[in-house]
Amino acid sequence: MHPNPSFFQSTIVNNPQDTLQGREDEEPPGSGAAASEPTANCVVRRVSSLNDAAIVLRFPPERVARTSLRTRAFRRKFFSGVPDKTWNDWQWQIRNRIRHYGQLQSMLDLSPAEKGVADHTGHKLPMGITPYYMSLLTVDDAAQPLRRTVVPTINEFVRSPGEADDPLGEENQSPVPGLVHRYPDRVLLLVHDFCSTYCRYCTRSRVVGHGAILPSRSRLEQAIDYVRATPSVRDVLLSGGDPLTLNDDRLEWILARLRRISHVEIVRIGTKIPAVLPQRVTGRLVRMLRKYHPLWMSLHFTHPDECTPETTRACGMLADAGIPLGSQTVLLKGVNDTVDTMKSLCHNLLRMRVRPYYLYQCDPITGSGHFRTSIAQGLEIIRGLRGFTSGYAVPTYVVDAPGGGGKVPLMPDYMAGREGSDLLLRNYEDRLFRYPDCRSADIETGSSPCPLETIP
């Protein structure tokens, strides 16, 4: 027993403002910093779980800034009268999103391609950017990676060959509204269609932000009933829209009902919240989430500039709650399509306790041609990572096959051929090595070309 019982204290602070006040048609439905004590070689952080306490050791000790200089400058210029408590309220962030071009023009020097969008009507994907994420954008550089991912341009109105509104064929694999059953043992449950910040390359731009998928109890119960009636489903992925823009009670309602289904082994949540709205990750949220383990999260990160102090803190809270974190990154032209950028992103993710999981080839949605790279470029990035950095830092490069074919992994060809019983392998340095693959030769030829010797 620790000599001082008060040593073990929860570092999670309850946020009293976890109910969303007011909403528009496309708004989401629904109504403390960690303490640390440095030692000689590490930082001891006091945390508590539901039943017992633990000590988390951090190496090496370091002082982490609460926010970036860029965000501070942005707040002084555009939100000088907003106190920290309000700025860090996730509901305030959603209510004050940048949604109109008048707001954009007051904050950014718009390029001709960005200005041109204002002349178009009936745009499929609405614009929405949280003040926090807007603070990460550069004012005078329309080519800045983060800015390209959230500020619309006229390029979105150009339809290239092979593009489609529903390229993955989700509508054809949806047995009940808002649920996609593509793989044998898992389903995708779209809880609603709202995101706090809209990515311009969104696969579901045909429905997101238009109120097409509402989190009504009747629709969600229908989807959960389907899961309950399908024993082969052991894995449920909550997505949308962003599930974490639901308030805690609504999200828990879904998690609790899924956890009552005996054959559902794991639940996953797909979200971009830690990158675009880290203020949403509150003590109350993580305390609720950790009641429903095994619970996993797939986080959407695009560029190392998203790995801010606020995001690091949010990922740390989720990881401390025992939630395994994986990152899903979309390969985007002019955003993250170089080896150096991708390596920096993956290294930053690991430091934030997030495992780079998938690197997606950009889906051929309508108007995405300016974002898509060649497959060869994606393979070159994987080749530039494998062997040159930790294996944990190398995501799996996949193409989501159009028409509902599912994820197809792609890898550079490291098999250079075969000579007799030897398999010729090419390593990350482009050097050739031989592996004595006698067993494969047995299968292929029906005889063993390898001499057998008795070990004395």
Among 386, 407, 426, 434, which one carries the catalytic annotation? 407
Beta bridge partners of residue 270, listed in sequence order: 298
Q: Are strands 266-271 and 355-361 parallel, antiparallel or unpaired?
A: unpaired
- Beta strands, E only, 80-221: 179-183, 186-190
Per the annotation, the verdict on 200 as an active-site residue is no
Torsional class of 187: left (φ above 0), alpha (ψ -120 to 50), beta (otherwise): beta
CB environment 226-258: b (16+ within 10 A), e (fewer): bbbeeeebbebbbbbbbbbbbbbebbbebbebb
Q: 181 CB contacts (<8 Å, ≥6 apart)? A: 173, 174, 175, 187, 188, 226, 230, 233
What are the CB-based long-range contacts (under 8 Å, 24+) for 54-57?
A: 56/320
Q: Pick from 188, 196, 200: which is nearest to 245 by CA?
A: 196
CA separation for the pair 148, 141 (Å, rounded): 10
Distances (CA, A) of 365 to 107, 203, 214, 309, 405: 29, 6, 22, 33, 15
Per the annotation, the verdict on 195 as an active-site residue is yes
CA torsion through residues 123, 129, 133, 137, sign: positive
CA separation for the pair 225, 176 (Å, rounded): 10
Per the annotation, the verdict on 45 as an active-site residue is no
Among 147, 182, 200, 268, which one carries the catalytic annotation? 182
Per the annotation, the verdict on 400 as an active-site residue is yes
Q: Are strands 295-300 and 266-271 parallel, antiparallel or unpaired?
A: parallel
Task: Give the angle 24-242-347 at the CA atoms, nearest 5°.
Answer: 135
Per the annotation, the verdict on 248 as an active-site residue is no
Among 42, 99, 183, 290, which one carries the catalytic annotation? 183
Cis omega before residue 241 (within 30°)? yes
CA separation for the pair 229, 216 (Å, rounded): 20
Among 147, 195, 305, 437, which one carries the catalytic annotation? 195
Cα dihedral value 207, 208, 209, 210, nearest 10 = 10
Per the annotation, the verdict on 202 as an active-site residue is yes
Asked if residues 321 and 286 have their Cβ atoms less than 8 Å apart, the reply is yes
Q: How many CB atoms lie within 10 A of CB 203?
A: 19
Per the annotation, the verdict on 407 as an active-site residue is yes
Per the annotation, the verdict on 307 as an active-site residue is no
CA separation for the pair 129, 144 (Å, rounded): 15
Q: Which tokens in the block code for residue 34? A: 């960690």
Among 97, 204, 219, 313, which one carries the catalytic annotation? 204
Q: Are strands 53-58 and 43-48 parallel, antiparallel or unpaired?
A: antiparallel
Among 200, 202, 360, 397, which one carries the catalytic annotation? 202
CA separation for the pair 427, 449 (Å, rounded): 25
Among 75, 186, 219, 343, which one carries the catalytic annotation? 186
Q: 272 CB contacts (<8 Å, ≥6 apart)? A: 195, 197, 199, 242, 299, 300, 301
CA separation for the pair 132, 127 (Å, rounded): 15
In the sheet with 53-58, reading across from the earlier edge strand, the strands are 36-38, 43-48, 53-58
CA separation for the pair 3, 8 (Å, rounded): 11
pLDDT in tens, the chain (456 residues): 444 433 323 333 334 333 333 334 444 544 433 333 444 444 444 444 444 455 555 555 556 679 999 999 999 999 999 999 999 999 999 999 999 999 999 999 999 999 998 877 655 789 999 999 999 999 999 999 999 999 999 999 999 999 998 999 888 999 999 999 999 999 999 999 999 999 999 998 888 888 889 999 999 999 999 999 999 999 999 999 999 999 999 999 999 999 999 999 999 999 999 999 999 999 999 999 999 999 999 999 999 999 999 999 999 999 999 999 999 999 999 999 999 999 999 999 999 999 999 999 999 999 999 999 999 999 999 999 999 999 999 999 999 999 999 999 999 999 999 999 999 999 999 999 999 998 665 555 555 556 656 666
Q: Which residue has the tokens 């004395």?
A: 456
